[in-house]
Amino acid sequence: MSKSKSAAEIIVEGRVQGVGYRNYAQRRGSSLGLAGFVMNLKDGRVRARAEGPRPVIEEFIRELGKGPPLSLVENVKVRWLPPSGRFDEFGIRYAEFES
In this prediction, residues 54-62 reach a mean pLDDT of 98
Per-residue burial over 46-72, b = 16 or more CB atoms within 10 Å of its CB, e = otherwise: bbbbbbbbeebbeebbebbeebbeebe
pLDDT over 90 at 1, yes or no: no
Residue 99 has what pLDDT? 43
pLDDT over 60 at 43, yes or no: yes
Residue 97 has what pLDDT? 52
Q: Which is higher by pLDDT, 95 or 77?
A: 77
pTM reported for the whole predicted model: 0.91
Provide the annotated active-site residues.
22, 40
Residue 98 has what pLDDT? 46
Contacts of 17 (CB under 8 A, 6+ apart): 40, 44, 46
In this prediction, residues 47-76 reach a mean pLDDT of 98
Per-residue burial over 87-98, b = 16 or more CB atoms within 10 Å of its CB, e = otherwise: beebbeeeeeee
Q: Which is higher by pLDDT, 1 or 81?
A: 81
- Give me the domains of the chain, ranges plus CATH numbers: 7-83 (3.30.70.100)
Residue 4 has what pLDDT? 78
Amino acid at 37: F
Q: What is the β-pairing status of strands 46-53 and 72-81?
A: unpaired
Other C-beta atoms within 10 Å of 31: how many? 11
